[in-house]
Amino acid sequence: MEITERIVESYCRYVKHWFTLPNVRCPGQYEIDLLAIDTSGKRLQRYHVECGVSVSGGFSKLTAKPFSLNRLRTRLTQAGARRTFGYFLERKFGVSEVLGTLELYGFRPGNYEKVIVSWGWISEAADLAAQHQITLWDFRSIVREIAETFGPQRSYFTDDTLRTIHLFNKALKETR
C-alpha cells in the first residue's frame, strides 16, 4: 500500500470514523485502493476511494485529457495517463473485475459513492467528475485536516501514519 493510500485510510478511519478495508484485490491484476463504510446515519454510506497523488510538476493535477490505454502501457507516458479522469473512470471504477469484486462486498450500482483523491485538479476534470457523480478530494486538505484534528492532542497514536503526521505537525509548530 502506498503512503498516500495509508494517509487517506487514516483520514477515513480516524477523522471521519468510518470502517475501512484497504487494498482489495480483484481478478486480472486490478485492485481497489480503499472501501469505506460510514455507519453513523440510519443507512450505511459506502465509499469506493481511489488515490492518484503525485507532486511531480507536470503530473500533479487530475486532468481531463483523453485516456489512452497505449499511453498507460508505455513507460514514458504512464504517469500522464494515470493523471487523467478517464483513467479512473475506465480502469478504477468501470472494469468488470472491479465491479464484480465490489458486488461481493455489497457495493452495488447506486448504493455507494465513488471518490478520487488527487493533488488538485483542473476545472474540466471537476466538471467531468460532477457529470459522472464522482467526488473529488484534495489530498492536501486531507493532510491538513488530520493535522488540525490531532495536532493539539498529546496522546500516543499506534497508527504509524497518524503518528507521523502528528509528529510532523508538532515539529513544524515548535520550529516556528
CATH number (domain holding residue 163):
3.40.1350.10
The x, y and z cell numbers of residue 13, run together, are 478511519
Query: Which residue bears the cell 510538476?
Result: 57
Question: Given phi > 0 = left and psi -120 to 50 = alpha, else beta, which region is 143?
Answer: alpha
Give the number of other CB atoms < 10 A from CB of residue 66: 10
Counted residue by residue, the chain has a size of 176
Q: SS3 of 151, please?
A: coil
Which three three-digit cell numbers place residue 111?
448504493
Beta-strand pair 19-26/134-138: unpaired
- Asked if the model's pLDDT at residue 88 lies above 80, the reply is yes
Binned at pLDDT 50, 70 and 90, residue 67 comes out as confident
- Contact indicator for 163, 7 with CB cutoff of 8 Å: no
Total tally of structural domains belonging to the chain: 1
- Reported pTM: 0.89
C-alpha cell at position 31: 485492485
Helices 160-174 & 3-10 angle (0-180, nearest 10): 90
The band of 173, judged by pLDDT with boundaries at 50, 70 and 90, is confident
Give me 165's grid cell.
Answer: 503526521
**Domain residue limits at 37:** 3-174
